[in-house]
Copies of this chain bind each other. A is one copy, B any other.
């Protein structure tokens, strides 16, 4: 029951930690410059098993984690990073059964995480103006078997199609401040709102727009993730790290009360 079977998505990890994600198919071969590994040799093996290529290079076979899947999405745009996605899921309270609306599908990394988290009983709607990005996102979702939880809508959130209001709304758009008002029409009152923005100027613009709406519980934050070298006797941070992915903005749209936010 812990054995890999045909159709499973598996991850092979080389000794140098390089990762390869593939779908097991009888008769197929996994080929690297480290040598060849037949899928048939993997099918039926336990996860965690070591398998050597015909050249003797060892690989470990694992089930990819959500993070592994996110980092392996094919992309034609900057994806939202796992460090940010983990926190977004908590702030937007995206879990089994949640209905989420995303504007700005992009390559679909966040879309994938949302689809993964909402389970069979939830639903993700993702809107993008670019048909090519939506095709790419669909491909990324299909690869991991999550496309059936997502409605990819080709269009502009400023002119949103009619659908049942979402529990949570996330914007990954260059001019989020302009999309805010129409997008909020798709969020149920008191729902969870979030956005990611690369520049400080965009954050100012979105905060200004939010102060018109009434929001409560408004937060702006950024998350820094620093890795360490893993030698026990010489523990130290890695030499370099990602300095910035985006600013995260969160809030809850509410009935107007007193002076607007931030004043």
Contacts and interface: CB of A to CB of B under 8 A. Distances in A.
B96 A235 contact: no
Interface stretch (A27-35, A36-44, A54-62, A153-161): A54-62
Nearest to A92: B65
Given A189-B2, A244-B238, A226 B227 contact: no
Contacts of A50: 254-257
A235 B204 contact: yes
A235 B199 contact: yes
Interface stretch (A100-108, A113-121, A124-132, A133-141): A113-121
A116 B91 contact: no
A258 B201 contact: no
B243 A230 contact: no
A152 interface: no
A241 interface: yes
Interface string A244-263: 10010000111111100111
B238 A87 contact: no
Interface string A41-52: 000001111100
A188 B17 CA distance: 21
B220 A255 contact: no
Nearest to A245: B239
B240 A201 contact: no
A178 interface: no
A189 to B, nearest CB: 3
Interface of A: 2, 13, 15, 17, 19, 46-50, 58, 60-67, 70, 82-83, 85-93, 95-97, 113, 116-121, 165, 188-192, 198-201, 203-205, 207-208, 211, 216-244, 247, 252-258, 261-263
Q: Would you list the 6 A-B pairs with minimal beta carbon distance, nearest first?
A: A86-B86, A48-B190, A47-B190, A96-B119, A48-B189, A237-B244
